[in-house]
Amino acid sequence: MEVEAKFKLKDGVLEKIEKIARFLEEKEEYDLYFSHPCRDFAKTDEALRLRVENRIKMTYKGPKVDNETKTREEVNLLIDSFENAVRLLEFLGFKKFKSIRKKRRIYELDRAIICVDKVEGLGDFLEIELRVPEEKERIFEIARILGYSREESIRLSYLELLERLNWKV
């Protein structure tokens, strides 16, 4: 289970993060999303993506399970070939849907992962993530320390935000 809250990055927040959290890494990510051959992931609030970073991962994301965060079931598989994974999905009837590129700076603070993302075509965002649903309040505590209220949390994924802008692959 992934428990996550997203916020539009405000001025000065990166500097706050760098003072209180431990920097882990910076990387570029390329995400390729697929549409399902038999159901509309937009209606079922699911996603299937291939991510290329320092490794290749296939991720299924289930529907969000609460009204405040992006908490959802997540299944990840490591893949050894991006091209073969795309071919396999296409043989099974999945279609390439959208792609997203971003630069991500990753920090750690008290078991929470804090990501500062620069999303191509969308802007800068902050994500705070934990793997324990019972600790959801910890996410909002960190957000408060960084200058955010609960109400500023964005429940839409980057894919959904870009879709609202009618962004193309």
- Give me the DSSP letters along 87-117: HHHHHTT-EEEEEEEEEEEEEEETTEEEEEE
> Is there a catalytic annotation at residue 33?
yes
Which alpha helices (DSSP H) does the chain contain, by range? 13-20, 41-44, 82-91, 136-145, 158-164
d(CA 3, CA 134): 9
Residue the block writes with tokens 């159901």: 39
Sign for the CA dihedral angle at 7, 8, 12, 18 comes to positive
Catalytic residue (one of 33, 107, 148, 158): 33
Q: Which residues are known catalytic residues?
A: 33
